[in-house]
Amino acid sequence: MYKIAVIGSPDTVIGFKALGLDTFPVREAEEAHRIFRSITRPDRSEEYAVIYLEENLAQALKTDIDRFKDSPNPAVILIPGKDGSLGLGQAALQAAVERAVGVNIL
């Protein structure tokens, strides 16, 4: 069965834990990098279909995230942190729509 993971600051992920998602609270980008690599290993018995990642961590994990850009699993979705949006999630969505449709419709 597929799972959903959330990686971000403790303040960001706590609400997702109440929904039953697998949460990975982190304080530093290096810790997020280690967790992201761990849960996306090809030999993992549990497969994550969706990984929500806090935007402020995405810059440090760009290379790892890009590995899954054209892959159906896992879908890496950027979410704003407690300080608000950095616009990275919107930019990623726009790029995905442009690749799928061939033109910017947003």
Which tokens sit at 5? 């993971």
Q: Tell me the per-residue pLDDT of 41-99, one tens digit each, with 9 for 90 and over.
A: 887 756 898 999 998 898 889 899 888 877 878 888 888 877 756 555 555 555 555 55
By the 8 A CB rule, do 45 and 30 touch? no
Q: Which of 20, 3, 4, 2 is nearest to 79 (CA)?
A: 4
Long-range contacts of the stretch 66-74 (C-beta < 8 A, 24+): 67/40, 68/40, 73/2, 73/47, 73/48, 73/49, 74/5, 74/40, 74/47, 74/48, 74/49, 74/50
- pLDDT at site 103: 62
Residue 101 has what pLDDT?
Answer: 58
Report how far residue 15's alpha carbon sits from residue 19's, in angstroms, rounded to the nearest whole number: 7
Out of 3.30.470.10, 3.40.710.10, 3.40.190.10, 3.40.50.10580, which CATH number does the structure's domain 3-101 have?
3.40.50.10580
